[in-house]
Amino acid sequence: MIVLGADRNSSAIRRAPTWIADVVTTRRKRRLAYLIIVALLGFFSIWPKPYISRARILPQDTATAAGTGGIMSLVSGSSAQNVASLLGGGRASNDLYLVIGRSDSVVRRVIRHLHLVGPNGYASVESAKRALSRKVDISLMLGGVMQIDTKTFRAADSSRITQAYVEAVSKELALFGEQNILNKKRIVENRFASATKRVAETEGALNAFRRANHLAAPEAQLGVELSLRTSLQAQYQAKLVEEKALAEFRGPESPELATVRAEIGSLRQQLARTASSATAVTGPNLAASADLTTKYLNLYRDYAFSQAIYEIYARASEQVAIDELTAQSASYVQIIDPPYIDEYRHFNLWPLSLLLLIAVLAAFTEFYAPWTRLFDLDDLRQHKADFE
């Protein structure tokens, strides 16, 4: 089996340079080469020393940061839900904050802030972006906490870049919040103008109906007519009783009886007029008031609804105006951990990865392959000599 393995590799050894073939097929030289490579890779794994600067921030809800959530305290019930839907209430998702943190706008803001492009920096913005992508990592932790890690070979550079990213993310979130406020302002202003027009139209229709029907206040008018009809009915019943008593005691020719009967006729006419729909100079009677009540309630219902919508959007418009004024000083990022240098020892990944790969290769060629009799590199030297 060893010979077969040597046959398969004889052509490769014959084509290889003499010194490489000598190192590969000589156990002492091969192990010395492994040792030198491991020492070099181990050295470059720890030198130059990498410094990781880390910062943890918590992006704030843009509505809460600017005070837009205060609108919810101005309304109640279903109106609060309607305003929340209108203004896009609710905390933005954590994924959105991560997208903003990794956005091209943040990277360009960092490049401008640190003056990375120029005579003493990178040749172009694209090269600076590629360099930052290798040095900076932005991740999202539990609870929506954003972590910014910067790895360079100078502690001051790591801290400076991390601080620039914290400021850039904060400014981009502030810009995002301001855009939300502008969008809300545009929506609220449009709806407020529509609500103002609607409440004016319904109020005009209600006032025109009142003037056309001589109604100062339909509720009061209806109450007066009801009181009048009740009073007429009571008087009419009393006169009937009085008429019956006079007819029994005074006789049919009694002048008092004639007077009572005349009063009964007058009361009967008045009751008949209240039972029929009619409108006098002083306003509608009871029957007419009852007929107008339905129309009035429809008009008043539209007016009350329009007035309620108007008040909601008026309050929303005032709150958005306040948010617009306070947005300049609002804090959209809560700093949990300011930029600091991680005290743990860190290694250079590429040399460390190669070191592990060489260690696995050495273990395979020096121990596993000879032990399993898969092949033995020392036997290849003898086979090469026989071949030559």
pLDDT in tens, 320-331: 888 777 766 666
The answer on pLDDT for 221 being more than 80 is no
Same domain assignment for residues 94 and 166? yes
Phi, psi of 117 (to 5 degrees): -105, 125
Please write the tens of the pLDDT for every residue from 239-287.
777 777 767 666 666 777 778 778 888 878 777 766 555 555 445 554 5
| Total number of domains constituting the chain | 2
Domain identity same for 34 and 145: no
Q: What is the pLDDT of residue 174?
A: 86
Same domain membership, residue 166 and residue 102: yes
Among residues 341, 363, 379, the one where a domain terminates is: 341
pLDDT surpassing 50 at residue 71: no
Domain that holds residue 378: 2-49+347-387
In a shared domain, residues 10 and 83? no
pLDDT at 182: 87
CA distance 273 to 60: 72
d(CA 82, CA 61): 20
Structural domain contains residue 31: yes
383 assigned to some structural domain: yes
Residue 220 resides in a domain: no
Bridge partner list, 279: 284
- In a domain, residue 304? The reply is no
Query: Are residues 13 and 116 located together in one domain of the fold?
Result: no
CA distance 170 to 368: 55
Give the predicted TM-score (pTM) of the model: 0.61
Whether residue 42 is found in the same domain as residue 159: no
237 assigned to some structural domain: no
Give pLDDT tens digits for 327-386. Answer: 666 667 889 999 999 888 888 889 999 999 999 999 998 888 888 877 767 666 655 555
Residue 120 and residue 22 share a domain: no
- Is the same domain home to 44 and 55? no
Q: Within this chain, do residues 109 and 26 fall inside the same structural domain, yes or no?
A: no
Q: Are residues 102 and 122 in the same domain?
A: yes
Task: Clarify whether residues 139 and 149 are in a common domain.
Answer: yes
Query: What confidence score (pLDDT) does residue 281 get?
Result: 46
- In this prediction, residues 292-307 reach a mean pLDDT of 80
Whether the link from the prior residue into 252 is cis, omega within 30° of 0, is no
Confirm whether 337 is domain-assigned: yes
CATH number of the domain enclosing 136:
3.30.1890.10
Are 114 and 161 contained in the same domain?
yes
- Model confidence band, residue 22 (pLDDT cutoffs 50, 70, 90): confident
Please tell me the number of Cα atoms within 13 Å of 181 on its side-chain side: 28
Give the angle subtended at the CA of 300 by the CAs of 298 and 303, to the nearest 5°.
115
Mean pLDDT along residues 21-27:
77
Q: Does residue 131 sit within a domain?
A: yes
Report if residue 352 sits inside a domain. yes
Angstrom distance (rounded) from CA 15 to CA 48: 38
Q: Is 335 helix (H, G, I), strand (E, B) or coil?
A: strand
For residues 115 and 319, the model is more confident at: 115
Q: Average pLDDT for residues 48-72, to the nearest whole number?
A: 73
Q: Which pLDDT score is estimated for 146?
A: 94
252 C-beta neighbours (distance < 10 Å), count: 8
Task: Identify the pLDDT of residue 77.
Answer: 45
